[in-house]
Protein backbone atom coordinates (compact mmCIF):
# COMPACT_ATOMS: atom_id res chain seq x y z
CA UNK A 1 0.00 0.00 0.00
CA UNK A 2 2.85 2.39 0.74
CA UNK A 3 4.18 1.91 -2.78
CA UNK A 4 1.03 3.56 -4.14
CA UNK A 5 1.97 6.77 -2.35
CA UNK A 6 5.70 6.73 -3.11
CA UNK A 7 5.64 6.46 -6.92
CA UNK A 8 7.11 2.97 -6.90
CA UNK A 9 5.98 0.36 -9.42
CA UNK A 10 3.44 -0.88 -10.12
CA UNK A 11 1.62 2.23 -11.28
CA UNK A 12 -2.14 2.50 -10.82
CA UNK A 13 -4.14 0.87 -13.60
CA UNK A 14 -5.57 4.21 -14.68
CA UNK A 15 -2.11 5.29 -15.89
CA UNK A 16 -2.03 2.38 -18.30
CA UNK A 17 -5.70 2.62 -19.31
CA UNK A 18 -7.29 6.03 -18.55
CA UNK A 19 -10.57 4.87 -20.04
CA UNK A 20 -11.04 2.68 -16.96
CA UNK A 21 -11.83 5.75 -14.86
CA UNK A 22 -14.53 6.92 -17.26
CA UNK A 23 -15.97 3.40 -17.57
CA UNK A 24 -16.07 3.04 -13.78
CA UNK A 25 -17.76 6.43 -13.36
CA UNK A 26 -20.34 5.58 -16.01
CA UNK A 27 -20.94 2.17 -14.47
CA UNK A 28 -21.32 3.64 -11.00
CA UNK A 29 -23.72 6.26 -12.37
CA UNK A 30 -25.84 3.54 -13.94
CA UNK A 31 -25.88 1.54 -10.70
CA UNK A 32 -26.86 4.64 -8.71
CA UNK A 33 -29.54 5.51 -11.27
CA UNK A 34 -30.98 2.00 -11.01
CA UNK A 35 -30.91 2.16 -7.21
CA UNK A 36 -32.65 5.53 -7.27
CA UNK A 37 -35.32 4.29 -9.67
CA UNK A 38 -35.99 1.28 -7.46
CA UNK A 39 -36.78 3.39 -4.38
CA UNK A 40 -37.75 6.86 -5.62
CA UNK A 41 -41.43 6.26 -6.36
CA UNK A 42 -41.97 4.92 -2.84
CA UNK A 43 -41.06 8.35 -1.46
CA UNK A 44 -44.19 10.46 -1.89
CA UNK A 45 -42.38 13.79 -1.88
CA UNK A 46 -41.18 16.12 -4.60
CA UNK A 47 -38.09 15.48 -6.69
CA UNK A 48 -35.99 17.61 -4.34
CA UNK A 49 -36.98 15.51 -1.31
CA UNK A 50 -36.31 12.29 -3.23
CA UNK A 51 -32.87 13.58 -4.20
CA UNK A 52 -32.00 14.51 -0.62
CA UNK A 53 -33.22 11.13 0.65
CA UNK A 54 -31.27 9.24 -1.99
CA UNK A 55 -28.14 11.28 -1.22
CA UNK A 56 -28.50 10.41 2.46
CA UNK A 57 -29.08 6.75 1.62
CA UNK A 58 -26.03 6.62 -0.66
CA UNK A 59 -23.91 8.34 2.00
CA UNK A 60 -25.08 5.95 4.72
CA UNK A 61 -24.32 2.88 2.60
CA UNK A 62 -20.80 3.94 1.64
CA UNK A 63 -19.10 6.61 3.71
CA UNK A 64 -19.12 5.46 7.34
CA UNK A 65 -17.65 2.06 6.53
CA UNK A 66 -15.12 3.40 4.01
CA UNK A 67 -13.90 6.16 6.32
CA UNK A 68 -13.54 3.77 9.25
CA UNK A 69 -11.92 1.00 7.24
CA UNK A 70 -9.35 2.89 5.14
CA UNK A 71 -8.50 6.41 6.42
CA UNK A 72 -9.07 5.82 10.13
CA UNK A 73 -8.04 2.18 10.46
CA UNK A 74 -5.47 1.42 7.74
CA UNK A 75 -3.98 4.89 7.16
CA UNK A 76 -4.33 5.81 10.87
CA UNK A 77 -5.64 9.32 10.19
CA UNK A 78 -6.70 11.26 13.29
CA UNK A 79 -10.43 11.52 13.98
CA UNK A 80 -10.90 15.24 13.07
CA UNK A 81 -9.79 14.85 9.41
CA UNK A 82 -11.87 11.69 9.12
CA UNK A 83 -14.90 13.61 10.43
CA UNK A 84 -14.23 16.39 7.90
CA UNK A 85 -13.99 13.82 5.11
CA UNK A 86 -17.36 12.35 6.10
CA UNK A 87 -18.91 15.83 5.91
CA UNK A 88 -17.33 16.45 2.50
CA UNK A 89 -18.69 13.10 1.32
CA UNK A 90 -22.13 14.16 2.57
CA UNK A 91 -21.99 17.17 0.25
CA UNK A 92 -20.84 15.05 -2.68
CA UNK A 93 -23.57 12.47 -2.13
CA UNK A 94 -26.22 15.20 -1.85
CA UNK A 95 -25.07 16.55 -5.22
CA UNK A 96 -25.28 13.04 -6.67
CA UNK A 97 -28.75 12.43 -5.23
CA UNK A 98 -30.11 15.79 -6.38
CA UNK A 99 -28.57 15.37 -9.84
CA UNK A 100 -30.14 11.96 -10.32
CA UNK A 101 -33.51 13.18 -9.02
CA UNK A 102 -33.33 16.27 -11.23
CA UNK A 103 -32.58 14.21 -14.33
CA UNK A 104 -35.40 11.83 -13.43
CA UNK A 105 -37.77 14.81 -13.03
CA UNK A 106 -36.68 16.30 -16.36
CA UNK A 107 -37.14 13.00 -18.19
CA UNK A 108 -40.52 12.51 -16.55
CA UNK A 109 -41.59 16.01 -17.64
CA UNK A 110 -40.55 15.17 -21.21
CA UNK A 111 -42.58 11.96 -21.08
CA UNK A 112 -39.59 9.63 -21.24
CA UNK A 113 -40.13 7.90 -17.88
CA UNK A 114 -43.01 5.52 -17.33
CA UNK A 115 -45.29 6.49 -14.47
CA UNK A 116 -44.97 4.21 -11.48
**114 phi/psi in degrees, rounded to 5:** -70, 145
Written as tens digits, the pLDDT of the chain (116 aa) is 666 667 777 777 777 888 988 998 899 889 999 999 888 888 889 999 999 999 999 999 999 999 998 889 888 889 999 999 999 999 999 999 999 999 999 988 898 765 44
Angle at the Cα of 79 (from 74 to 82), degrees rounded to 5? Answer: 70
Distance between CA atoms of residues 116 and 111, nearest Å: 13
Q: Residue 103: inside a domain, yes or no?
A: yes
Per-residue 3-state assignment (H helix, E strand, C coil) for 29-93: HHHHHHHHHHHHCCCCCCHHHHHHHHHHHHHHHHHHHHHHHHHHHHCCCCHHHHHHHHHHHHHHH
Q: Residue 87: inside a domain, yes or no?
A: yes
Q: Residue 86: inside a domain, yes or no?
A: yes
Specify the number of domains making up the chain. 1
Q: How far apart are the first and last CA of the chain?
A: 47
Q: Residue 104: inside a domain, yes or no?
A: yes
pTM of the model: 0.75
Q: Residue 36: inside a domain, yes or no?
A: no
Q: Residue 39: inside a domain, yes or no?
A: no
Q: Residue 2: inside a domain, yes or no?
A: no
Amino acid sequence: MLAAFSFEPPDPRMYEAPWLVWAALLGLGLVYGWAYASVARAWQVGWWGRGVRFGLLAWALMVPWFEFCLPFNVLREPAPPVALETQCWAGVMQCVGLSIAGIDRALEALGHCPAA
